[in-house]
Structure 1
Amino acid sequence: MWKMHEIREMIKLFEESSLQEMELDLEDAGSKISLRKQENALDSYVRIEPPKAPVVSLAVKEAPVPVKKEIPKPVVQSEPVQEAGKKSIDANDPSIYKIISPMVGTFYQAPGEDADPFVKIGDKVGKSTIVCILEAMKLFNEIEAEVNGEIVEVLVKNGQLVEHGQPLFLVRME
């Protein structure tokens, strides 16, 4: 059985994603969770369906707002995060490899808040070097460099939501 804070986290991740609808069939718990975004609507809802029981609807009503309600889109930064005075790296250079996100999730540059980052600009990496963690649905997935080289750019910020296929790092291959 899912705990309320887990359901709230699921709703938060769904609201921050570009998905419009999501349905989870939780066979082990014997229930179903349906999430749907509605454009131009003042109501949004979550429906949890336990097996062979009436549908339980949790409706969240907002006060009418005179302006059109916009559904927030996740911030997806595709330009490199650069420090002042640094020159830009040409991402189309054939010696530059892009480490891309294999999934939608939250990007973490370090294993913990007070820990050093897995890699930083100038670090040498090997094919199996862990460069970051992506959190998706409370699962932490280690992302490896996949090439030998040197980190030349970090393209996203720590804690940022990333999309599937979004570049995370630029590596100058050796």
Structure 2
Amino acid sequence: MDINLIKKLIKIVEQSQITDFSVEEGDLKIKISKNSHSGNAIAYQQTPVSTETIINQSTVPALEAPKLIEAKEEKKTNLHEIRSPIVGTFYRAPAPDADPYVQVGDIVSPGTVLCIVEAMKLMNEIESDVSGKIVKILVENATPVEYNQPLFLIELM
């Protein structure tokens, strides 16, 4: 496994909500984990019985506590989260040159399409399950999302 592939794996873990990831290729094992207290680390070993070498990754930022606190404070009000029902790639519009399904400030009702989550080349439309106003879009366009990851905040009406 070359170093560029390892760097790509680190970036994928960094941009997702995954905290631990491991992969084995032959007798090479790589483990990538995020920890908000001690930073991120990569561990790899050449053979199953050899010692592990741990490399601290200063380029991979730790989880930011202030953003997590903000989301919890907003959730206590009359806001409803729309979460991803699947793992995939988040798209705000049906095509790259098309307008987004919704913008911040738009009024939505149950059944309104909010976005698409692509999984295995299938485009899954994510619909609103409540009536309200879009107050925040929590995910950047064309980025990976995890199962149950919050995508939108909707102020209930």
- Shift in Å at residue 42 of structure 1? 7.4
Secondary structure of the 2:44 match is: coil
Structure 2: tracts of 5 or more residues without a match: 1-7, 32-42, 47-52
Q: TM-score, normalised by structure 2?
A: 0.59
Q: Cα distance, 1:69 vs. partner? A: 8.8
1:104 matches 2:84: no
Q: Does structure 1 conserve the Cα–Cα contact (< 8 Å) formed by 2:89 and 2:145?
A: yes
**How many aligned positions are there?**
116
- Picking from 133, 147, 153, the partner of 1:164 is 147
The question of whether the paired residues in 2 share the 8 Å contact of 1:77 and 1:156 is answered with no
Q: Is 1:115 aligned to residue 98 of structure 2?
A: yes
Evaluate the alpha carbon distance shift between residue 150 and residue 37 of structure 1 in structure 2; reply closer, same or farther with a 3 A threshold.
farther
Deviation (angstroms), 1:154: 0.5
Please tell me the root mean square deviation across aligned C-alpha atoms, in Å. 3.6
Q: Counterparts in 2 of 1:140-159, with a 5 A limit?
A: 140-159=123-142
Matched, 1:38 2:30: yes
Instruction: Give the structure with the larger helix fraction.
Output: 2
Shift >2 Å, 4+ stretches = 15-21, 36-43, 66-70, 76-80
Q: Which protein is bigger by CA-based radius of gyration?
A: 1
1:59-138 equivalent positions in 2, closer than 5 A: 68=55, 79=67, 90-93=74-77, 95-138=78-121
- Distance, in Å, in 2 between the alignment partners of 1:139 and 1:132 is 13
Contact preservation (8 Å) 1:42, 1:69: no
User: Kindly, what percent of the aligned residue pairs are identical?
Assistant: 42
